Chain A
């Protein structure tokens, strides 16, 4: 009896341990060390690692570049989350109708999303710096005359524009899947009852796709907070550090300035803020979901 129990345990560990070991080595160990680093002061080279308690945590609140990147990231997340969801949802509504080209169009709108964000950043650097001036020449529109990447407010919107181009189709796909889950009988019944288009949208469709909205907001918020490649390739955080995302700032601080311990503290704060915001968002929205 005990032998079979031992054998079962052995089988259990054979199957489970590779995943657990990899997880421990690649994720858990570095994560725990990051927490420990955040209470230390170390230049990355010397053998003398000092314990400094909470002082890194108080220092970073006076780090104006960090606070600036925090503020930029919050703005970026707020605006891009709103836009990619509204536009993705609008595309989904239209491409869920019986249009003749809907399958081709779904492919077209989704296509940018398979290209890596680093390449996307370079593609748009080309479009903005070389093609926009030509558009300005033909149309005479002032908005295309200025180089978007050399003025802070324009650079912000350049990032938003590129992110919308990159992500709208992705959110569209999730929303289409949700819309297809709504029974047509229900919508027909509503129509017979004389429900108009807007009532149908507000009182039937939106409540029924709330689950998808929760997921899409979560995805948009987390990916927005983590923006790095696009930021690096398109603006490098410039001009004047005005578009430096948190992820880029932490990277620069760690590897360009060799501030391992301070950068770890910033990364821990990043983790806590992101965790708190997504928890609140998912929790608040889950409570109001409609089960069908």
Chain B
């Protein structure tokens, strides 16, 4: 196929760049207005600020308790993802290597949960969570993310492990390695590519998740960034200068993460999409 760069391509390229700029405009507007005074936003939301002042950010940083909510989001995301990776890779390992009726039932049973919308189990979940003292604390919500994250992670690991030749594991067993040794020293290193994919997909989801924290985390000390933004935004509904500074603070960590991990995120999305 002739795929030369000609004037048609140039026009198309210019159009795509213009569209790309239009795509970024909302983020740009949020960013520049976060530095303005309230009245300045109302009179000229599209112009650059007269003075890039940081006072909105200082106010929001303190009132939203940004360091605390950032730490909560980070702890919840990291521990949830680590648990999801560990539990689902361990289960997938035995389900693949010990096939049989039991393994099939477990695998298909967990898999079928992927079609249940969260809203369907949300109401009783809250009651189960109350019974097990999982409301309003980080271990509680992390345990819930483990549960909700396992189906997709198990599915992805299951497919990947099936493609890993069993010979290496057998050789290690011959050499006297225990099942745990095989799992930690042989299998887990081989699983790195799919582990990265699963870690990234689940990190994005958990970091941005709102509804679960909204129903199980009420006290201020355990709130996450999306939840704290929602509450803050509700209190300062029309105080756009503060709301926009809060949004900017909320967006920066995840955009930085994306720009650093871009390649893996795109790969992860592509690999994760195959679950359909």
B-binding residues in A (CB < 8 A)? 8, 11-12, 15-16, 18-20, 22-23, 25-31, 33-34, 37, 94-95, 97-101, 104-112, 114-119, 122-124, 126-127, 130-131, 134, 165, 170, 173-174, 177, 184, 187-188, 191, 212, 214-216, 218-219, 222, 225-226, 228-229, 233, 246-247, 250-251, 254-255, 260, 263-264, 267-268, 270-271, 274-275, 278, 282
CB contact under 8 A between A19 and B154, given known A111-B255, A134-B45, A215-B276: yes
CB contact under 8 A between A116 and B254, given known A19-B91, A191-B1: yes
B2 → A minimal CB distance (Å):
8
List the A residue with the shortest CB-CB distance to B271. Answer: A177
B42 → A minimal CB distance (Å):
7
List the B residue with the shortest CB-CB distance to A282. Answer: B276
A96 → B minimal CB distance (Å):
10
A-B contact pairs, 29 of them (CB 8 A): A12-B94, A16-B91, A23-B110, A26-B143, A26-B147, A26-B148, A29-B128, A30-B121, A33-B127, A33-B128, A94-B12, A98-B3, A100-B5, A105-B20, A108-B23, A114-B255, A114-B265, A115-B255, A116-B207, A122-B233, A122-B247, A123-B30, A170-B269, A177-B270, A216-B273, A222-B115, A229-B226, A254-B122, A254-B123
**A22 close to B146 (CB less than 8 A):** yes
Q: Max chain B CB contacts within 10 Å: which of A122, A246, A268?
A: A122
**A26 close to B144 (CB less than 8 A):** yes
B214 → A minimal CB distance (Å):
9
Q: Is the interface of B mostly helix, strand, loop or mixed?
A: helix
CB contact under 8 A between A29 and B251, given known A15-B90, A278-B115: no
**A26 close to B146 (CB less than 8 A):** yes
B243 within 8 A of A: yes
**A127 close to B16 (CB less than 8 A):** no
**B88 close to A19 (CB less than 8 A):** yes
B69 within 8 A of A: no
B94 → A minimal CB distance (Å):
4
| Proximity string of chain B (139-172) to chain A, C-beta cutoff 8 Å, 1 when within and 0 when not | 0000110111011001000000000000000000
Give bound CA distance, A22 to B125, whole Å: 12
Q: Which of B90, B240, B274 contacts A126 (CB 8 A)?
A: B240
B244 within 8 A of A: yes
Which A residues are CB-close (under 8 A) to B90? 15-16, 18-19
Which A residues are CB-close (under 8 A) to B46? 131, 134
Which A residues are CB-close (under 8 A) to B58? none
CB contact under 8 A between A117 and B208, given known A30-B121, A31-B120: yes
**A114 close to B258 (CB less than 8 A):** yes
**A11 close to B94 (CB less than 8 A):** yes
A-binding residues in B (CB < 8 A)? 1-5, 9, 12-13, 16-17, 20, 23-24, 26-27, 29-30, 33, 41-42, 44-46, 86-88, 90-91, 93-95, 98, 106, 109-110, 113, 115-125, 127-128, 132, 143-144, 146-148, 150-151, 154, 179, 183, 204, 207-211, 215, 226, 229-230, 233, 240, 243-244, 247, 250-251, 254-255, 257-259, 262, 265-266, 269-270, 273-276
Which A residues are CB-close (under 8 A) to B45? 130-131, 134
A123 → B minimal CB distance (Å):
5
- 18 further A-B contacts with Cβ under 8 Å, apart from A26-B128, A109-B20, A173-B269, are A11-B94, A12-B94, A15-B90, A15-B94, A15-B179, A28-B113, A30-B128, A31-B121, A98-B9, A115-B251, A117-B210, A118-B226, A165-B26, A184-B1, A188-B1, A219-B273, A250-B122, A260-B123
A3 → B minimal CB distance (Å):
15
Give bound CA distance, A71 to B55, whole Å: 45
Give bound CA distance, A104 to B94, whole Å: 42
**B208 close to A115 (CB less than 8 A):** yes
**B20 close to A173 (CB less than 8 A):** no
A195 → B minimal CB distance (Å):
11
**A127 close to B26 (CB less than 8 A):** yes
Which A residues are CB-close (under 8 A) to B146? 22, 26
A104 → B minimal CB distance (Å):
8
Q: Max chain B CB contacts within 10 Å: which of A19, A247, A250, A260?
A: A19
**B9 close to A15 (CB less than 8 A):** no
Give bound CA distance, A31 to B27, whole Å: 39
**A108 close to B247 (CB less than 8 A):** no
CB contact under 8 A between A274 and B23, given known A114-B204, A126-B244, A134-B46: no
CB contact under 8 A between A214 and B128, given known A19-B90, A270-B117: no
Give bound CA distance, A227 to B116, whole Å: 14
Which B residues are CB-close (under 8 A) to A126? 29-30, 33, 240, 243-244, 247
Q: Which of A37, A95, A174, A251 contacts B124 (CB 8 A)?
A: A37
